[in-house]
């Protein structure tokens, strides 16, 4: 049994037209008109496949294909929302490959023992509303639903998640914990260079590395660049520059550690004014929880020292604290077995990015399948994966689901 | 002969109401409605003092008090425009002290040998239109007038200097080079901490230090913070951080050197994306032209090396190249003599900031008088100078002008 390659690739192309950017990328921010159009498109596809469709209170979409019994209930999917400079594959690929899996089961008139569910999660990217992985977070922690509903749009403070769900017609009546999933499987592009570099076709993801985001606002003193002696300056920018170089060194010292300073805001940000205030958010990641904590502690210790030496004070806010999430060994083995059965080259690996699967891991057995991303490029209009890899991944998903739904 | 202290301070308070910010500062950007109101206010004051008023093609305002002959023509003044986060004294003080000088001469019915001219220059700050020191630049280089007229507003590309001058009614018919000034004297707050720290009352400014602004745009590669190994990164932000620390060291190595990185723009400026592109403008100043050139060369050499080591390319644009401007020794001596005659403590000094006086120095004898700025704060709503210092400075201006207008 194999998926229909042409139909998968055609669906990817068709979906990419919704929110298409002129530069070849896709912009389909969560709960915008473009998101609604893509959701309507998916709902129609689900209905055409005779799935039982549900929308829950956070807008997650479910297409359920019943087997001989409702349990075990094997879920798979991903998300249709993108970042502003998004590509065609991040999220979309997992949903459309899932659709293709169901299409293939239907065409082959397979009656499964358990049931399966295709899911499109709301706002995985977090590019318009915080936090990211919102839909799967609500499923794993229903007690957070009301707080999540109140989250305001970054572009317009008068809009929140609930009002935008209502506006686009996707505030559903299914409870976020209505379904009892036994497994969750997510197929995704790697978003990194490892599979390509090692000439492998499939990654069996056994762990999502931990992610810590910490915001620091450094308070120096605004001063005239032409008249303030160096000794009289409290330059918040120099603290941040020193920190950036320290973080780079830290990445080389602690095993598996990645440190990134991707966001900086200067105030007043004027050529001839020593910066009074600088905001940064630092992104620390490590597959090992203890090492990640150690990296954060070393960074905090350094920040304390360097700030003091520049007579700069600071505020600190922990924005994200995701510890590493191990996936189900049983599911990872099932993925490896499927890849092996298809004669594909594979390895176990760690996910560097966060995914809905890590939220689902809190309530059921979960794992992920990766395929190569060319040059590791993602969250970028140049994001690309080869058709053969896209097809291989969907077949691994098909075989793994087929195994799980009859064997669990 | 002494100026009227109360009237000077009252005028400063009254003017500060035009464009007043709620936090105590002043926002009166060049050629805005607030600038127009302050200009109308000044024009009325000039007319009340029976001055012959002129507006030139770049909007500079002149109030001329004729003596026995038109020459020598001793000019003084400053500017009424402010930065966004401006205070009450930068620019305004020089104009209003000049007004007070004329008021005092009138009240004492002094008939001078030569004539005097009070000037309010257009757009000294450069906070809404580039370049700064625009009005005095046009006076010293009339051949640039047409180019300057075309300069677009930072906040609205459809507006330029000429259209905004017309809109507020200050596109005058006097030629920018209509008047033949023999001297230009500018009274200003120091905008630095030196006079206050040394407990002095007057600075006789004999030099404006050189100012070089250079814009660099560094091109790295956007990459996912969670999935891109350190070895595969081209982080434009690390180049800029390294440069900032290098510049700080350079300030300690080259005599009199000040280096500032006040403006940074990251793109895409997202927490979990390695910066693809970073723009900075660096501000280098030195009273010595050769040392300033040396600092710029060292910075450029470092930038070349550090960019290469991070596999980052860059574009470079020279935005400002003002070499140091020496003032007239004769005028500096006249200022010292006036300060000495008033029993004030003074010293010769260098201006760290740029001023209209440096443009005027190209066409006549020029110099500046500084008074203390509390904590050296300027371009900041907390800018402050003590009343006694404000009064002292105006009396030094009065006496220096009186000497020049009868002795030159």
Summarised one tens digit per residue, pLDDT across range B214-266 is: 999 999 998 889 989 999 999 999 999 999 999 999 999 999 999 999 999 99
Contact across the interface for B283 and A274, Cβ inside 8 Å: no
* A303 in B contact zone (CB under 8 Å): no
A325/chain B closest Cα distance in angstroms: 14
The residue of chain A with its CA nearest to that of B84 is A268
Q: What is the mean pLDDT of residues A372-399?
A: 95
Of A340, A397, A404, A293, which is closest to residue A3 (Cα–Cα)? A397
Question: How far from chain centre, in Å, is Cα A109?
Answer: 33
Question: Which residue in B223, B262, B268 is closest to A271 by CB distance?
Answer: B262
* Tally of helices (H runs) and strands (E runs) in chain B: 12, 15
Helix segments in B69-144, DSSP class H: 92-107, 134-140
Chain A partners within 8 Å of B252 (Cβ): 230
- Count CB pairs under 8 A between chains A and B: 194
Judging contacts by C-beta atoms under 8 Å, the chain A residues touching residue B193 are 227-229, 232
Q: Does A272 touch chain B (CB under 8 A)?
A: yes
Max intra-chain CA distance, chain B: 80
CA B382 vs CA A112, A124, A285, A359: distances in Å:
74, 45, 42, 49
pLDDT digits (tens, 9 = 90+) for B73-100: 999 999 999 998 899 999 999 999 999 9
Chain B partners of A224 at a C-beta cutoff of 8 Å? 191-192, 352-353, 376, 378-379
Nearest to A129 by CA among A162, A151, A159, A156: A151
Q: Check CB contact under 8 Å for B226 and A211.
A: yes
Percentage of residues in chain A having pLDDT higher than 70? 100
Taking an 8 Å cut-off on Cβ atoms, the answer to whether A283 and B225 are in contact is yes
A299 touches chain B (CB under 8 A): no
Q: How confident is the model at residue A408 (pLDDT cuts 50, 70, 90)?
A: very low
Query: ipTM of the assembly?
Result: 0.86
Tell me whether residue A115 is exposed, middle or buried, using C-beta atoms within 10 angstroms of its C-beta: 0 to 12, 13 to 18, 19 or more: buried
Residue in B200, B16, B370 with CA at minimum distance from that of residue A226 = B370
Other Cβ atoms less than 10 A from the Cβ of B180: the count is 11
First to last CA, chain A: 20
**Residue A250: C-alpha distances to residues A8, A244, A246, A278 (Å):** 43, 10, 6, 22
- Chain A interface includes B363 (CB < 8 A): no
Average pLDDT score, chain B: 96
Distance CA B32, CA B36 (A): 6
For chain B, percent of residues with pLDDT exceeding 70:
100
Lowest-confidence range among A97-106, A306-315, B153-162, B304-313? B153-162
Residue of A nearest to B221 (CA): A377
Highest mean pLDDT among A153-162, A377-386, B110-119: B110-119
**CB B228 to CB A376 under 8 A?**
yes
Q: Which residues of A touch B225 (CB under 8 A)?
A: 258, 260, 262, 283, 285
Residue A249, pLDDT score: 98
Judging contacts by C-beta atoms under 8 Å, the chain A residues touching residue B29 are none
Q: State the pLDDT confidence band at B408, using cuts at 50, 70 and 90.
A: very low
Sequence-separated (6 or more) residues with CB below 8 Å from residue B146: none
- Residues 196-215 of chain B with CB under 8 A from chain A are 209, 211, 213
Are residues A205 and A370 in contact, defined by beta-carbon separation less than 8 angstroms?
yes
Note whether A265 contacts B268, CB cutoff 8 Å: no
Region A140-167: mean pLDDT is: 96
Q: How confident is the model at residue A378 (pLDDT cuts 50, 70, 90)?
A: confident
Contact A225 B260 (CB under 8 A): yes
Of residues B378 and A2, the one with the higher pLDDT is A2
* B356–chain A nearest CA distance, Å: 15
Q: Six-digit token pair at B146?
A: 């047409």
Residue A157 three-state SS? coil
Q: What is the pLDDT of residue B223?
A: 86
Q: Which residues of A47-80 are buried (b: 16+ CB within 10 A; e: fewer)?
A: eebebebbbbbbbbbbbbbbbeeeebbbbbbbbb
pLDDT for the residue numbered B407: 61
- Cβ of residue B352 closer than 8 Å to a chain A Cβ: yes
* Secondary structure of residue B85 in the 3-state scheme: coil
Q: Which residue of A has its CA nearest to B351?
A: A227
Cβ–Cβ of B224/A275 closer than 8 Å? no
pLDDT at position B175 over 70: yes
Cα–Cα distance measured from residue A339 to residue A345, given in angstroms and rounded to the nearest whole number: 7
Answer yes or no: are the C-beta atoms of A360 and A139 closer than 8 Å: yes
Residues of A in contact with B265 (CB under 8 A): 269
Please list every residue in chain B whose beta carbon sits closer than 8 Å to the beta carbon of residue A271. Answer: 213, 260, 262-263, 281, 283, 319
**Partner-chain residue, chosen from B227, B237, B242, that has the shortest CB–CB distance to A192:** B227
Q: Is B255 on the interface with A (CB under 8 A)?
A: no
Residues in chain A: 408
Which 111-170 residues of chain B touch chain A by CB within 8 A? none
Task: Give every CB contact of residue B181 below 8 A, 6+ residues apart in sequence.
Answer: B73, B74, B75, B117, B360, B363, B364
Closest chain B C-alpha to A231 CA, distance in angstroms? 10
Residues in B closer than 8 angstroms to A286, CB to CB, are: none
Give CA–CA dist A295/A316, Å, rounded.
16
- Provide, as residue numbers in chain A, all residues whose Cβ is less than 8 Å from the Cβ of B85: 268
Cβ A271–B283 below 8 Å, yes or no? yes
The C-alpha angle with vertex A232 and arms to A229 and A234, in degrees rounded to 5, equals 120
Length of chain B: 408
Is A375 within 8 Å of chain B by CB? Answer: no
**What pLDDT, on the 0 to 100 scale, is given for residue B154?**
86
d(CA B170, CA B153): 16
Average pLDDT of B394-403? 97
Structure tokens at B25: 């500062």
Put simply, whether B273 touches A (Cβ < 8 Å) is: yes
DSSP secondary structure, A286-327, as one string: ESSHHHHHHHHHHHHHHHHHHHHHTT-EEEEEEEEEE--EEP
Dig out the tokens for A120 from the structure: 């499109």
Please say whether the beta carbons of B223 and B312 come within 8 A.
Answer: no
A191 vs B83, B191, B227: nearest CB: B227
Q: Do A222 and B380 touch (CB under 8 A)?
A: yes
Could you give the 3-state DSSP secondary structure of residue A253?
helix
Which has the closest alpha carbon to B203: B397, B347, B350, B400? B347
Sign of CA dihedral B95, B99, B100, B102: positive
- CA dihedral A342→A345→A347→A352, nearest 10 degrees, is -100
Look at phi and psi of residue A266 and say left if phi exceeds 0, alpha if psi is from -120 to 50, else beta.
beta
Pairing of strands B115-121, B61-65: antiparallel
Model pLDDT, residue B270? 86
DSSP 3-state assignment of A357?
helix
Q: Which residue has the tokens 């920040």?
A: A303
- Return the ∠ at Cα A287 (arms to A283 and A289), rounded to 5°: 85
Contacts with A66 (C-beta within 8 Å, 6 or more apart), sequence order = A52, A115
pLDDT at residue A222 tops 90 = no
Question: A216 near A280, Cβ under 8 Å?
Answer: yes
């Amino acid at each position: 049994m194999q998926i229909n390659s042409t139909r998968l690739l055609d669906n990817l192309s068709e979906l990419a037209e919704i929110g298409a950017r002129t530069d070849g990328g896709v912009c389909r921010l969560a709960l915008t008109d473009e998101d609604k159009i893509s959701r309507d498109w998916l709902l129609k596809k689900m209905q055409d496949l005779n799935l039982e469709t549900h929308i829950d209170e956070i807008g997650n979409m479910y297409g359920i294909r019943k087997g001989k019994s409702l349990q075990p209930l094997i879920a798979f999917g991903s998300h249709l929302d993108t970042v502003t400079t998004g590509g065609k594959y991040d999220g979309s690929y997992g949903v459309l490959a899932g659709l293709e899996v169901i299409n293939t089961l239907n065409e082959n008139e397979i009656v499964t023992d358990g049931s399966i569910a295709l899911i499109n999660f709301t706002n995985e990217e977090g590019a318009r509303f915080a936090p990211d992985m919102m839909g799967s977070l609500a499923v794993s922690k229903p007690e957070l639903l009301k707080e999540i509903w109140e989250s305001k749009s970054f572009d317009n403070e008068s809009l929140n998640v609930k009002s935008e769900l209502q506006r686009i017609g996707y505030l559903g009546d299914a409870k976020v914990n209505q379904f009892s999933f036994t497994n969750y499987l997510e197929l995704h592009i790697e978003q990194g260079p490892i599979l390509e570099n090692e000439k492998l076709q499939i990654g069996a993801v056994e762990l999502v590395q931990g992610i810590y985001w910490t915001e620091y606002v450094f308070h120096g003193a605004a001063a005239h660049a032409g008249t303030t002696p160096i000794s009289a300056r409290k330059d918040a920018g120099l603290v941040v520059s020193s920190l950036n170089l320290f973080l780079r060194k830290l990445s080389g010292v602690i095993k598996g550690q990645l440190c990134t300073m991707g966001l900086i805001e200067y105030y007043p940000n004027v050529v001839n004014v020593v910066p009074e205030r600088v905001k940064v958010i630092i992104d620390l990641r490590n597959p090992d929880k203890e090492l990640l904590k150690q990296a954060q502690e070393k960074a905090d210790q350094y920040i304390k020292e360097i700030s003091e030496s520049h007579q700069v004070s600071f505020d600190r806010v922990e924005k994200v604290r995701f510890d590493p999430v191990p996936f189900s060994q049983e599911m990872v083995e099932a993925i490896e077995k499927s890849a092996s059965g298809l004669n594909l080259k594979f390895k176990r690996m760690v996910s560097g990015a966060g995914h809905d699967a890590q939220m689902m891991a809190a309530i059921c057995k979960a794992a992920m399948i990766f395929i190569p991303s060319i040059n590791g490029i993602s969250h970028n209009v140049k994001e690309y994966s080869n058709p053969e890899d896209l097809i291989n991944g969907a077949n691994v998903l098909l075989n793994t689901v087929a195994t799980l739904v009859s064997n669990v």
